[in-house]
């Protein structure tokens, strides 16, 4: 029988009591690998109440002590990174080298959070008025929650909880039900590192658990990453319930290839950015925009054989460059998009449908897919596919290419490949997108910067991790102080001013 995957509440695994479960599958074989307990509203409440009990004590722990616990957690991550990566590959399907890269990018946020005491410093001004001083503090919110997607079951939670914990908050994680096991490993290792019981809890579940978090009065803030429709729902529901919210949505990331670009470099970049992790990345490049017909023809001549030769296989095979999609339902969805592209008249240059691997016939595999002559009215251009499907949209000029990006509803990430500094600078300054790469195909900021898009790719005022993460997980308190020797006699009935 597959293993049962339980919740983690108050420092220990807790067997699900709702009576509802869901199967977890190995994407490479299509076979069930575990049974996941789905939380009821009551179980979510138990996790939140555990965090609420722990919150006052954790908030009083010095920032330095909190940082030391996170540092101990980092040491555990460093020594067990392969174990965590294996859990990712087993349930998500991405190749092991990519899973290890995900763990590394998550660890970088932990490293940043260890230095958060520096960012928690307030400000002070002496003598804002005669013998009156003012200073500010950044204080924790209390109990906060993160709702995370299947595509990065380690990195995206680590965008959230290390910063939240460093700031003195307690955290409830609701991971994706597709690949939940990594979250339990992280919870156990946090406890091993010395985190007090109740400060970090994990509840598994579906919409019932999400709604329970969104409506729970004990939750002060919600962080979310997922599709745009759900991000909008999470943001609006959280706001209606008086919570802070940062909700990252979908993407349709374009990469412009200028006529002066190094085409070999651009093709290498497109292969990794479009087909890495089977395209299941919110920062994947899904639209290539070569400028000029000559550039487009040359790009396609180099790109087509590379896509045809893409090595697709189980994530545990070191020869695999791309693994399976996460579920059978998602496989059907991606195939449906390819069907739609053909129906709408795009040129299907490389067709990934129908791929079958010997010994893995039940796996959720689709080959790398490449469309040319895609137009902006097509479904495969407008919507996020979240699979290994690259659309090539030919543009007559840089201005036309940039307008494509600015006119799209999403504004998550984008890139330009060029040797022209003028074009690069104009692109970086004028493009209406939150994260920009210049000859960098996946411009994910380092942990000490902040991650987030524009337009329909982000709902809320704050990006994730980095300085923005610290601001999101703390509230600012301003204190004005005057001691008795500086107080003059008598009541004052006018607006106070400083003289």
Show the DSSP H helices in 205-292 as ranges.
207-215, 228-240, 263-275
- Annotated catalytic residue: which of 167, 170, 245, 282? 282
What is the C-alpha separation between 15 and 141, in angstroms, rounded?
29
Q: What is the DSSP letter of 445?
A: P
| Number of neighbours of residue 236 by Cβ within 10 angstroms | 14
167 included as an active-site residue: no
User: Of the candidates 216, 249, 215, which has an alpha carbon nearest to the alpha carbon of residue 232?
Assistant: 249
What is the C-alpha separation between 35 and 28, in angstroms, rounded?
17
Tokens of 140: 């924790």
Q: Is 141 in contact with 171 (CB distance < 8 Å)?
A: no
Tokens of 98: 């990519």
Q: Please state, in angstroms and as integers, the Cα–Cα distance from residue 35 to each residue in 48, 109, 126, 178, 419, following that order.
A: 23, 30, 60, 11, 52
3-state secondary structure of 219: coil
Supply φ then ψ for residue 79, to 5 degrees. -80, -20
What is the C-alpha separation between 227 and 231, in angstroms, rounded?
6
Catalytic residue numbers read 282
């Amino acid at each position: 029988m597959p293993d049962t995957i339980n919740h983690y509440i108050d420092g220990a695994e807790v067997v699900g009591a709702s009576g509802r479960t869901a199967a977890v599958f190995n994407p490479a074989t299509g076979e069930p690998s575990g049974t996941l307990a789905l939380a009821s509203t009551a179980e979510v409440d138990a996790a939140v109440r555990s965090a609420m009990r722990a919150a006052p004590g954790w908030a009083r722990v010095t920032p330095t002590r909190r940082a030391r616990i996170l540092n101990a957690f980092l040491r555990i991550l460093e020594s067990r990174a392969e174990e965590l990566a294996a859990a990712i590959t087993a349930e998500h399907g991405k190749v092991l080298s990519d899973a290890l890269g995900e763990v590394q990018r998550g660890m970088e946020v932990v490293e940043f959070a260890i230095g958060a005491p520096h960012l928690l410093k307030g400000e002070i001004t002496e003598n804002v008025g005669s013998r009156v001083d003012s200073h500010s503090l950044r204080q924790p919110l209390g109990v906060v929650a993160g709702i995370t997607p299947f595509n990065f079951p380690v990195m995206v939670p680590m965008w959230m909880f290390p910063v939240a914990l460093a700031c003195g908050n307690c955290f409830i994680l609701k991971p994706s039900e597709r690949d939940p096991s990594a979250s339990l490993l992280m919870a156990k290792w946090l406890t091993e590192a010395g985190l007090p019981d109740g400060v970090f809890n994990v509840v598994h579940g579906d919409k019932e658990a999400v709604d329970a978090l969104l409506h729970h009065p004990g939750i002060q803030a919600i962080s979310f990453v997922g599709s745009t429709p759900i991000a909008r729902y999470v943001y609006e529901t959280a706001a209606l319930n008086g919570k802070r919210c940062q909700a990252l949505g979908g993407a349709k990331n374009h990469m412009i290839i200028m006529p002066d670009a190094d085409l070999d470099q651009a093709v290498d970049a497109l292969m990794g950015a479009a087909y890495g992790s089977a395209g299941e990345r919110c920062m994947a490049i899904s639209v290539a925009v070569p400028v000029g017909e000559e550039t487009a023809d040359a790009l396609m001549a180099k790109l087509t054989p590379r896509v045809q030769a893409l090595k697709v296989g189980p994530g545990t095979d070191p020869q695999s460059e791309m693994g399976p999609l996460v579920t059978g339902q998602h496989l059907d969805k991606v195939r449906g998009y390819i069907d739609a592209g053909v129906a709408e008249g795009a040129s299907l240059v490389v067709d990934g449908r129908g791929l079958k691997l010997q010994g893995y016939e039940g796996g959720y595999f689709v080959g790398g897919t490449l469309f040319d002559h895609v137009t902006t009215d097509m479904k495969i251009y407008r919507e996020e596919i979240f699979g290994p499907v690259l659309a090539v949209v030919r543009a007559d000029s840089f201005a036309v290419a940039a307008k494509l990006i600015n006119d799209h509803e999403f504004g998550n990430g984008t890139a330009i490949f060029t040797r022209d500094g003028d074009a690069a600078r104009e692109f970086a300054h004028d493009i209406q997108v939150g994260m920009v790469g210049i000859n960098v195909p996946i411009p994910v900021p380092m942990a000490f910067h902040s991650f987030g898009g524009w337009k329909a790719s982000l709902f809320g005022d704050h990006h994730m991790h980095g300085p923005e993460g610290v601001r999101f997980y703390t509230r600012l308190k301003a204190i004005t102080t005057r001691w008795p020797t500086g107080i003059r006699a008598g009541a004052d009935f006018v607006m106070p001013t400083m003289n």
